[in-house]
Amino acid sequence: MEQRLTMVTLGVRDLARARAFYEEGLGWTLGDGVEGQVAFYDLGGMLLGLYGLEALAEDAKTALAELSPGRNFGGMTLAYNVRDKAAVDATLKEAEAAGATLLKAAEEVFWGGYSGYFADPDGHPWEVAFNPFWTLNDDGSVSLPKKD
Amino acid sequence: MEQRLTMVTLGVRDLARARAFYEEGLGWTLGDGVEGQVAFYDLGGMLLGLYGLEALAEDAKTALAELSPGRNFGGMTLAYNVRDKAAVDATLKEAEAAGATLLKAAEEVFWGGYSGYFADPDGHPWEVAFNPFWTLNDDGSVSLPKKD
């Protein structure tokens, strides 16, 4: 597993409110996303994602009962993108061999990619993903699709 | 606030175990740190940090009662580094004006820097920090001290 990070995803209870905070409040520019569902910000080769808290927990197969939406810690995942499906499987196996816990075996996902999740020894969730719509550059940085 | 991220810090219950996972298990190279206390990995201009879960919660002034160490979500913070102390204060004010909640007013911290924390509308904790020992490049990327 290369020493890099593709995305930090923040689980949010109200996407419009969260987008308003980052875009209108802090002045950030939306890079990609699906209106009302998910938002991505390019932080210079890696991304910050905003996604529904419950959907994020479901995606990572993390029990909702373990989420306490009102607290200050929680609902954050890390993502490591790779170049093809085989690399997703290989990376998950490598992480398990290193002592990680498999949270979700890799599968085809609704947005058109292929991904699984492992938890590091402290339970921090890492998604390992192949996303055919994003360009993973040679240095591991990610480029979002150009907007028309 | 510029559109960038300096560090993701993972709160860990056993630093040696966590370091073994990332270094021996995944093959990552330690970039900086204090033996037995904190470890930093250079992910290409931004960092992954490993730090004690309770110390991280204390640093962010997040109530320990809100942490459930056994769960899969939690104990992760984001950091945004700036170039001087005044910029820490200014960034915290900007975030508050944008609707963030101040978790900790900026103060001199034991490791020699100056930092405070805000929570975004979903409670995700952002540290805003000035670290005199790290170089913040013009593009916002961070460079760790060269090792002897």
Q: How close is the nearest chain B Cα to the Cα of A24, in Å?
A: 8
**Is residue A2 one of the residues assigned to a domain?**
no
More confident residue, B73 or B16: B16
Q: How much is the pLDDT for A142?
A: 86
**Is residue A85 one of the residues assigned to a domain?**
yes
The pLDDT of A105-117, averaged and rounded, is 92
For every residue of B51-116, which 3-state class applies, written as one string? EEHHHHHHHCCCCHHHCCCCCCCCCEEEEEECCCHHHHHHHHHHHHHCCCEEEEEEEECCCCCEEE
Is beta strand A135-136 parallel, antiparallel or unpaired with respect to A32-34?
Answer: unpaired
Domain of residue B107, residue span: 7-143
Tokens representing A95 are 């992480």
Q: How much is the pLDDT for A148?
A: 60
Q: How much is the pLDDT for B91?
A: 95
Express each pLDDT in B120-132 by its tens digit: 877 788 899 999 9
Average pLDDT, chain B: 84
**Is residue B137 one of the residues assigned to a domain?**
yes
Q: Is the pLDDT of residue A144 over 50?
A: yes
User: A72 at the B interface (CB within 8 A)?
Assistant: yes
**Is residue B125 one of the residues assigned to a domain?**
yes
**Is residue A16 one of the residues assigned to a domain?**
yes
User: Nearest CB to A3: which of B41, B94, B119?
Assistant: B41
**Is residue A64 one of the residues assigned to a domain?**
yes
User: Nearest CB to A76: which of B76, B99, B139?
Assistant: B76
CA-to-CA distance for B41 and B32, rounded, in angstroms? 7
**Is residue A38 one of the residues assigned to a domain?**
yes
The pLDDT of B73-101, averaged and rounded, is 89
More confident residue, B50 or A71: B50
CA-to-CA distance for A110 and A78, rounded, in angstroms? 19
Average pLDDT, chain A: 84
Which of A10, A26, A46 is best to mutate for the B interface (most B CBs within 10 A)? A26
Supply the pTM of this predicted model: 0.83
> In the beta sheet, which residues pair with residue A147?
none
Q: How much is the pLDDT for B62?
A: 60
Express each pLDDT in A98-110 by its tens digit: 888 888 899 999 8
More confident residue, A6 or B57: A6
CATH number (domain holding residue B52): 3.10.180.10
ipTM over 0.95: no
**Is residue B32 one of the residues assigned to a domain?**
yes
Task: Give the count of domains, chain A.
Answer: 1
Q: Is the pLDDT of residue B69 over 50?
A: no
Q: What share of chain B has pLDDT > 90, as a percent?
A: 35
CA-to-CA distance for A98 and A46, rounded, in angstroms? 25
